[in-house]
Chain A
Amino acid sequence: MPEQRCVRYLKALADPTRLEMVRLLFAEAKCVSDLAAALDSTVATTSYHLKALKQGGIVTERRRGQHIYYRLAPRIRDSIDPEGTRLDLGCCQLVFAEGRGGDVATGPTDTAKAASAPPVEVYLDYAATTPVHPAVREAMLPFLDAEYANPSSIHTSGRRSRKAISAAREQVAELIGAEPGEVVLTGGGTESDSLAIIGSALARLRDGRRGHIITSAIEHPAVLGACRELEQLGFRVTHVRPEGDFRLDPNAVLQAIEDDTFLITLMLVNNETGTVQPVREIAREARQRGILVHTDAVQAVGKMAVDVTDLGVDLLSVAAHKFYGPKGVGALFIRDGVAPLPLAPGHQENGRRGGTENVAGIVGFGQAAALARQELEPRREHVTTLRERLLGLQDAIPSVRVNGHPEHQVPYIMNMCLVYVDALLLQTNLSRRGICISVGSACASGKLEPSYVLRAAGMSDFAAFCSVRFSLGRLLTVEDMDRVVGQVAELSTFLREIRTPEEIGQCDENCPCLWEGVA
């Protein structure tokens, strides 16, 4: 049997229920309700599996009177032994186990195992967090076990912990082109943002001054929250909106500068759309005017080359868990000569961040940083291939648009508007089928709010409520992308009939109903 066909069969059979269905259909042709009863399942679930088997060429259907009966395709029927115990696909054999699907007898292990295992979860939410890399985990383990000493202790054990932290700091510094002394290890991206923004403001307040801060309307809540707190203390904040292509206009940012502007804080890569912001261009101008520049690079580091000298920023936030490191650890690059006030005073981190260090987390962070530096290009290539495959959605279903800048974009994040598809319903139903994606809408005060990022770029409520985020990573495969495209296409077809546009959200002049070529 040709390998391609075998792979198609195996994909269609990648569920124990479907194997059991093949066994039942070998005995006799059945209608969907009989099959559902035999499987002790629902008609809807059985129909879903039948459709997959039909698409995979495993079964065929035939109408008898009012009913549709399903039978095995002749090629599949001929591949089963007369006792109905074994399906020989040529590339591997599947053994039926009555009542519980089948097992693989022989054949290529990885693909064949998928046929007997439950549906594997496909995780496309790498922008939310990433799985810890095995090498990172290995590096951390000794510091969760024997190497438990406090790095501030001066005995031998403590010095070993201190040495491990120093090595990790160097690894993180190398990843962003900084000096180790410019890296302050923190408890994660949010803390790094707070230290940069609130710390800089407090340093100014200590001298009896307040002033003006520029940020954007599409920042992470960590940055927006810090700015909001400072507004309560009498600081003024300007939120610059992005253009319709989700990118900030550098001139719009620079034009917002006032006499007492002391800080510009902008993200390097947007977490919802993956659009790269013009931080370098803005930093060049701002620093000439003596204004501090902070960038939240949490979604950029590990996904693209980031160099603090090239960017010209004074402060830069990093989070380990966005690139296969552990949660609860991050860093803030603080350029030599810049001195935000510590939020947690203490002697650690040269007085810039107090508290006993999370040694295991920091060691893992260092290892993740080293891997990210080594594997930056292969990871990018891999994800670019996945992204191209995922773009197949545009061919699979009508009226799909990518939200993001066409050029200034990391391949890891793809935000798509599936017109007339309620994104929350799509996400929830995909989740029930083992596919994890994200939507930007949030539940607030008992009702759904559209993504503030998409709204800030001028999208209508309707378009925002139809948008989903796929974020990609190293453990995904091309086959996963094909499965996602298939599932999204299938669900979108019926979800488009469930809601009217008015029920999804308000239209306006930016509504995709009005886009050229959209039905």
Chain B
Amino acid sequence: MRAEVFSDGCPDSVEQLRVLRKVAERFPGLEIVELPADGPEAAEAGIILAPGLVVDGVVLSIGRVLSAGRIRRFLEQHQPTGS
């Protein structure tokens, strides 16, 4: 799975990245990509405020830090069910 964090370097963006890395410890298959919040990828994803979080094409957060528990719950529900 691929998690994209759209960051502008603000404390919330830094925190979102930290939270995500913590979550990734329990989801080794989770690839984390940091992208600029003012770049074309952000515009394409509809991220109008940092931090933004997109996991496997699903926009989970805009302008707020999404908690570890909520990210975990999403990953658990959407992780591969097959081999």
**A residues at B contact (CB < 8 Å):** 30-36, 42-45, 47, 67-69, 424-425, 427-429, 431-432, 443, 446-448, 494, 497-499, 503
Contact = CB atoms under 8 A, between A and B. Distances in A.
Contact of A498 (B45, B60, B63): B60
Contact of A67 (B45, B56, B83): B83
Contacts, number: 79
Contacts of A499: 70
18 contacts: A31-B81, A31-B83, A32-B81, A34-B83, A42-B2, A44-B56, A68-B81, A68-B82, A424-B62, A428-B46, A428-B59, A432-B46, A443-B48, A443-B63, A497-B73, A498-B60, A498-B61, A498-B74
B49 A428 contact: no
B45, B57, B81, B82: residue with the most chain A Cβ atoms closer than 10 Å: B82
Contacts of B46: 427-428, 431-432
Given A44-B57, A429-B58, A446-B49, A498 B83 contact: no
A45 B55 CA distance: 11
A25 B1 CA distance: 23
Interface in B21-61: 45-49, 55-61
A425 B59 contact: yes
B21 to A, nearest CB: 19
A457 to B, nearest CB: 24
A429 to B, nearest CB: 5
B56 A45 contact: yes
Interface string B66-83: 100010011001111111
A425 B62 contact: yes
A44 B60 contact: no
Given A428-B59, A497-B70, A44 B78 contact: yes
A499 B2 CA distance: 21
B63 A448 contact: yes
A36 B82 CA distance: 10
B1 A42 contact: yes
A43 B79 contact: yes
A44 B80 CA distance: 8
